[in-house]
Amino acid sequence: MSVGIRLQYPPFTRLAGSSVSGGDVSPPVHDAAFAISRLSAEFTDRTIEAHFSHHLLPQTKEQLRTTLLFCAAVYLVFAITDVLALGLSPLSLMLFGCRAAVAVVAVASCVTNHLHPHSVGRVYLTASVTEIVGMLAFAPIVLARPAELSWHAMSMGLMVLVVYLYIPNRLLYALAIGVISTLVFIAVALVTGRLTGQEQLTMVMLLSLANCFGFIAARRYNIIRREEFRVQSVLKNLSERDPLTGCHNRRYLQQELLNMELSRARRFRLSVAVIACDIDYFKSVNDTYGHAAGDRVLVAFATLLRGMIRENVDNLIRFGGEEFLLVLPETDLAGAVHLAERMRAALSTMTTETTPGKSVGVTASFGVTSVNFANVAARFPQEAVIELADQLLYAAKRDGRNTVKALEFYGRPGLHVASRAVG
């Protein structure tokens, strides 16, 4: 059975660390899934890369804003050097226009990202556009002040490092922008014909080194960030999942899921259903066929349940031992009872191979409850819903097992009036 990690985001920001309703979204957690491309320094699995990017989005946007505004300010401040070189002339005014264009694009990028808080693509697009405009605006400065070519080469080297290391962008975009602008700069420098052959060689070598060091350092940084994310995801997975069945565990239910689903249902005045189910006479399976066979039955039961719930919506939790719990958002009592009855019937016809050639069939009992927040205004302890489902499960056990018991939850003890037994 593949074990998964829960990585989710609102509406696209559920990550290793935060979550919103979304059921068992479970990218595999084995190492191959976290493979990192040596060239792009990104996860080769696009889904995991998307989770990673969304996980870091708030920090990335913050970094981008700070860096772009700082670079825009530096670009404008360096207009002083134009005035010192060219005086207050139409040419220096034109260069100021180029510098102002960079500042305007940088500010527009920050505003765009502010208006689209969940878009990773826009962050990279605005970073790239600002970098390209910054590099383009540098060309007229170089052409207008050819006597300072060595200084311009130094500035170019610094700009390349900024592109690789300080402006958050995809590594391959930074590489393309860094290399192409370096080549264009070298071409412009050679066209001006102000440098000796030795100076030209030195300039080409230094700018190549700036690109190499920038790329290597950025690649290293990108890989380290992703390694951190991998470890974080694996640890989170270990702490939230049952290793035998791959289901979420009780800890996850109590610390995250239940509160999240009940709060959401309360906010939007929706129904949430909970089904508690437990394999009947499971001890005798262990006693008769051995613990390993019992494990196989548990895994088969979890697989059956998982196959019958809505992917990315419902949640399956191993509540303990041979007891499982299903949390079903936007589901009323009738819908949950119908599902529980289908599960009960499916299990009663299923067998699991315990040893080669030998199979065992089991049944299960179900306790079903649902709370409709359109009718329930009063606050109640979140565990109360689970407790009711559990009580109903044990009522089903007392009633002979292989049966479903259901009751609407009205939020207060003594008001569970809509009782219904099925099976």
Ligand X SMILES: Nc1nc2c(ncn2[C@@H]2O[C@H](COP(=O)(O)OP(=O)(O)OP(=O)(O)O)[C@@H](O)[C@H]2O)c(=O)[nH]1
Contact residues toward ligand X (CB under 6 A) are: 244, 278-283, 286, 291, 294-295, 298, 321-322, 397, 401
User: Quick one: 276 or 339, whose CB is closer to ligand X?
Assistant: 276
CA distance 2 to 122: 34
CA atoms 190, 195, 197, 200: torsion sign:
negative
We find the least distance from the C-beta atom of residue 322 to ligand X, in angstroms, to be 5
Enumerate the β-bridge partners of residue 351.
Answer: 361
d(CA 176, CA 182): 10
Total Cβ atoms within 10 A of residue 400: 10
Element containing residue 286 per DSSP (H, E):
helix 282-289
Of all residues in the shown chain, the one whose CB is closest to ligand X is 294
Task: Return the number of the residue (42 or 242) whose C-beta is nearest ligand X.
Answer: 242
Minimum CB separation from ligand X for residue 401, in Å?
6
In the complex with ligand X, the residue whose CB is nearer, 145 or 397, is 397
Of the pair 161, 244, the CB lying nearest ligand X is at 244
Type of residue found at 408: E
**Residue 330 Rama label (left phi>0; alpha psi -120 to 50; beta):** left
Closer residue to ligand X (CB): 259 or 284: 284
Pairing of strands 364-372, 404-409: parallel
CB closer to ligand X out of 283 and 412: 283
Q: Which is nearer to ligand X, 291 or 420 (CB)?
A: 291
Of 4 and 294, CB closest to ligand X: 294
For ligand X, which is the closer residue by CB, 78 or 281?
281
How many CB atoms are closer than 10 A to CB 152?
21
**Closest distance of CB 367 from ligand X, Å:** 12
Orientation of helix 149-161 relative to helix 197-240, angle to 10°: 10
Cα–Cα dist 260/258, whole Å = 5
Please report how close the Cβ of residue 363 comes to ligand X at its closest, in angstroms.
9
For residues 81 and 73, is the Cβ–Cβ distance under 8 A? no
Spatial separation of the C-alpha atoms in residues 308 and 301, rounded to whole Å:
11
Distance CA 37, CA 50 (A): 14
Residue in this structure with the two tokens 């009947």, named with its chain if needed: 280
Could you say which DSSP state residue 310 is in? P
Q: What six digits make up the tokens of 212?
A: 């190499």
- Please give the Cα distance from 423 to 180 (Å, whole number): 72
Would you say 114 or 283 has its CB closer to ligand X? Answer: 283
Beta strands in 304-376 (DSSP E): 315-320, 323-329, 351-355, 358-361, 364-372
Sign of the dihedral defined by the CA atoms of residues 325, 331, 335, 337, in that order: positive
* Least Å from the CB of residue 7 to ligand X: 26
Contacts of 200 (CB under 8 A, 6+ apart): 189, 190
* Closest distance of CB 357 from ligand X, Å: 20
